């Protein structure tokens, strides 16, 4: 019987080991070349850090499918189910590059100053360069995927997933913007938005190795569903953490979502219970709010059951996601995918 702390440490170690390999591969797949300023800006956020959760999901899924020892097989010459080899690291880099492109453009849209502890790309460089860096990463993600060396039929399916995933992320981001100007968003609508904006890239990460390695449709669909489930759970947990983690640990003001009247699963649920969400916190200024005000708001949200509702929903999605992994061979990498799912909602920040 392992403690939760030991389980979390084991997951973090598994993520760390894959992150190191991913970090080593990024400069290989996205070298700084002419025009240097463009490629430096494109690499800036990728080099600034990040947990690499999506590439980790992708690599671990590949390991589970191939039924090989975790980290014991060269990702660059990875066995498929059809007897040939692919470069599964390229697929992992591709989804991380997509993630990075969306962050760069999102930061412009939200005019956020900081990301991963460093200035956002449009602050470190300028608006022009940031738009262009995002656009460059966008096509580079396709180029990098194209160099994974999969059979043409499987490659076409993989590129289809990549393209439709990008479209859905844009649709989700657009819905999110619409929600900010709208009252009466339901939990179902909120979860649909989160599915498109956040979860589809987890879904792509989980199903892409299955597609590239020649798994059957049932497996591809189950893994896509796993990604959608854990991706939504991840976002819900983010919303909970914004309220419950001390500001100094969070790296920004606790409760900033509430102050800025950002809709979350918690607030849309609370509003359905009759709570006046807009006036939960008096100020709209993150710098002016007090910890006591956030505590009061949190107590009100707890009283109408909205925190429990969000936690229950996240737990339900994680359990559903884990069940879908039954399509995979029973091995250590599958166990890691289960632990990753748990970690996404048990993590402290």
Q: Which residues bind a copy of itself (CB under 8 A)?
A: 34-35, 37-38, 105, 108-109, 127-129, 131-132, 134-136, 138-140, 142-143, 146, 152-153, 155-156, 159-160, 162-164, 166-167, 170-171, 173-175, 177-178
Toward a copy of itself, which CB reaches closer, 42 or 253?
Answer: 42
Place of tokens 């896509």: 224
Residue 131 CB, nearest approach to a copy of itself (Å): 5
Residue 90 CB, nearest approach to a copy of itself (Å): 13
Query: Which of 117, 91, 121 shows the shortest CA–CA distance to 103?
Result: 121
Toward a copy of itself, which CB reaches closer, 147 or 335?
Answer: 147
Token duo for residue 294? 């956030």
Residue 156 CB, nearest approach to a copy of itself (Å): 5
Toward a copy of itself, which CB reaches closer, 90 or 306?
Answer: 90
Give dist(CA 313, CA 190) in Å, integer: 12
Residue 334 CB, nearest approach to a copy of itself (Å): 30
Give dist(CA 314, CA 298) in Å, integer: 18
Toward a copy of itself, which CB reaches closer, 65 or 141?
Answer: 141
For 116-153, b/e burial (b = at least 16 CB within 10 A) is: beebbbbbbbeeebbebbbebbbebbbebbeebbbeee
Toward a copy of itself, which CB reaches closer, 30 or 341?
Answer: 30
Residue 33 CB, nearest approach to a copy of itself (Å): 9
Toward a copy of itself, which CB reaches closer, 52 or 122?
Answer: 122
Helix axes 291-303, 217-244, angle to 10 degrees: 130
H-run or E-run covering 114 = strand 114-115
DSSP-based three-state secondary structure for 115: strand
Toward a copy of itself, which CB reaches closer, 166 or 233?
Answer: 166
Residue 175 CB, nearest approach to a copy of itself (Å): 5
Whether residue 337 contacts residue 61, with contact meaning beta carbons closer than 8 Å, is answered with yes
Residue 167 CB, nearest approach to a copy of itself (Å): 4
Q: How far is CA 283 from CA 184, 197, 206, 329, in A?
A: 21, 28, 41, 53
Four-point Cα dihedral 217, 223, 228, 234, nearest 10: -170
Token duo for residue 281? 């916190």
């Amino acid at each position: 019987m392992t403690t939760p702390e030991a389980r979390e440490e084991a997951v973090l170690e598994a993520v760390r080991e894959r992150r190191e390999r991913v970090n080593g591969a990024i400069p290989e797949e996205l070298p700084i070349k002419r025009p240097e300023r463009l490629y430096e800006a494109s690499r800036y956020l990728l080099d600034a850090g990040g947990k690499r959760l999506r590439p980790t999901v992708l690599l671990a899924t590949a390991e589970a499918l191939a039924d090989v020892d975790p980290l014991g097989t060269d990702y660059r010459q990875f066995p498929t189910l059809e007897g040939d080899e692919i470069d599964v690291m390229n697929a992992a880099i591709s989804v991380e590059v997509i993630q990075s492109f969306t962050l760069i453009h999102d930061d412009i849209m939200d005019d956020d100053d900081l990301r991963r502890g460093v200035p956002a790309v449009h602050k470190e460089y300028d608006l022009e360069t940031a738009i262009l860096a995002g656009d460059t990463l966008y096509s580079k993600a396709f180029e990098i995927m194209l160099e994974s060396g999969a059979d043409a039929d499987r490659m076409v399916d993989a590129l289809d997933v990549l393209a439709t995933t990008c479209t859905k992320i844009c649709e989700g981001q657009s819905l999110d913007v619409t929600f900010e100007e709208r009252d009466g968003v339901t939990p179902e609508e909120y979860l649909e938005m989160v599915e498109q904006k956040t979860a589809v890239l987890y879904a792509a990460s989980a199903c892409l190795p299955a597609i590239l390695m020649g798994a059957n449709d049932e497996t591809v669909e189950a893994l896509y569903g796993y990604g959608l489930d854990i991706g939504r759970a991840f976002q819900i947990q983010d919303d909970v953490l914004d309220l419950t983690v001390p500001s100094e640990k969070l790296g920004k003001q606790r409760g900033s979502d509430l102050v800025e009247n950002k809709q979350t699963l918690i607030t849309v649920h609370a509003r359905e219970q009759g709570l006046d969400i807009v006036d939960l916190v008096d100020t709209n200024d993150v710098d002016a709010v007090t910890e006591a005000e956030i505590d009061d708001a949190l107590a009100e949200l707890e009283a109408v059951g909205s925190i429990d509702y969000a936690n229950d929903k996240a737990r339900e999605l994680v359990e559903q996601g884990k069940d879908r992994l039954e399509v995979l061979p029973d091995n250590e990498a599958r166990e890691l995918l289960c632990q990753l799912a748990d970690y996404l909602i048990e993590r402290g920040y």
